[in-house]
C-alpha cells in the first residue's frame, strides 16, 4: 500500500527526527534479513581450454560444490572468499588477487546473498588439502566434464556461463 505523497512526507520527517538507534531498530524490523556469504570460482591457470575448475565434495557427499561460506561480522567479501578457499581446499589466493564476478552478488530466494569472486592458480603448485570433516574431497574438473553439482553450484556457475545451466541462463 502506497501512502499519499503528503502523508508519506510527514512520515519521513517524523522518522528522521527519531534518534538514530530507534530508526535503526525500526529498519531492522521492517527490512528483509539476508545471510551473506562469499563464493570463490577458481580455475586452473595451467589447464588448456575450456579449463578446469576447483570443486569440493562436502557432507553428505553426493554432489560437488564451490568453496564458499558465510562472512564473519564486518569481514570484507573478498577476504571471506579467500579465507573460505584456504580453509576448505588449502589453496591460498590473496584477497586482492580475487576479481569480483559480474554480477558480484546473487540474491537467492531462500534468504541469502552470495558475493562471488573469480581467481586462478596453477594446480600443479597448489596441493589440495581437506580436513575430512567439513570437506570430504577436493579436485580439479574439466569444465566440459563436470561431476554432479549441487543445485546451488549449478545455478551459480550457470550465471557465469559455465556448467550444465549455462545455456539456460544466457537464453
According to the model, what pLDDT value does residue 1 have? 58
Q: Give the number of other CB atoms < 10 A from CB of residue 129.
A: 13
**Maximum alpha-carbon separation in the chain:** 66
45-101 tens-digit pLDDT: 999 999 999 999 998 888 999 999 999 999 999 999 999 999 999 999 999 999 999
Q: Give the number of other CB atoms < 10 A from CB of residue 114.
A: 24
Q: What is the H or E stretch that residue 108 is in?
A: strand 99-108
Which residue ranges make up each domain of the chain?
Answer: 1-31, 35-170
How would DSSP label each residue in 76-91? -HHHHHHHHHHHHHS-
| Topology annotation, domain 35-170 | Nucleoside Triphosphate Pyrophosphohydrolase (3.90.79)
117-137 tens-digit pLDDT: 999 999 999 999 998 889 999
Q: How large a percentage of the chain has pLDDT more than 90? A: 73
DSSP code for 149: B
End-to-end CA distance of the chain: 35
Task: Report CA torsion sign: 126, 131, 134, 135.
Answer: positive
| Closest to 65 measured CA to CA, from 104, 114, 101 | 114
Residue 37 exposed, middle or buried by CB count within 10 Å (0-12, 13-18, 19+): buried
CA gyration radius, the chain: 20
Is pLDDT at 157 greater than 90 in this prediction?
Answer: yes
Region 38-43 average pLDDT: 98
- 3 pLDDT band, cuts 50/70/90, is low
Q: Give the number of other CB atoms < 10 A from CB of residue 67.
A: 27
Q: How far apart, in whole angstroms, are the C-alpha atoms of residue 101 and residue 120?
A: 13
Amino acid at each position: 500500500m502506497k501512502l499519499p505523497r503528503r502523508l508519506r512526507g510527514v512520515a519521513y520527517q517524523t522518522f528522521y527526527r527519531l534518534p538514530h538507534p530507534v530508526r535503526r531498530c525500526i529498519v531492522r524490523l521492517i527490512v528483509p534479513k539476508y545471510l551473506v556469504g562469499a563464493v570463490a570460482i577458481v580455475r586452473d591457470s595451467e589447464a588448456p581450454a575450456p579449463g578446469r575448475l576447483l570443486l569440493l565434495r562436502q557432507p553428505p557427499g553426493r554432489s560437488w560444490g564451490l568453496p564458499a561460506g558465510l562472512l564473519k561480522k564486518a569481514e570484507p567479501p573478498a577476504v571471506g572468499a579467500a579465507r573460505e578457499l584456504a580453509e576448505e581446499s588449502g589453496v591460498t589466493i590473496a584477497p586482492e588477487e580475487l576479481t569480483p564476478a559480474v554480477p558480484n552478488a546473487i540474491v537467492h530466494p531462500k534468504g541469502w546473498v552470495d558475493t562471488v569472486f573469480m581467481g586462478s592458480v596453477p594446480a600443479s603448485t597448489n596441493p589440495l588439502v581437506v580436513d575430512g570433516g567439513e570437506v570430504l574431497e577436493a579436485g580439479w574438473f574439466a569444465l566440459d566434464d563436470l561431476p554432479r553439482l549441487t543445485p546451488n553450484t549449478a545455478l551459480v556457475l550457470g550465471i557465469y556461463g559455465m556448467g550444465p545451466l549455462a545455456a539456460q541462463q544466457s537464453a
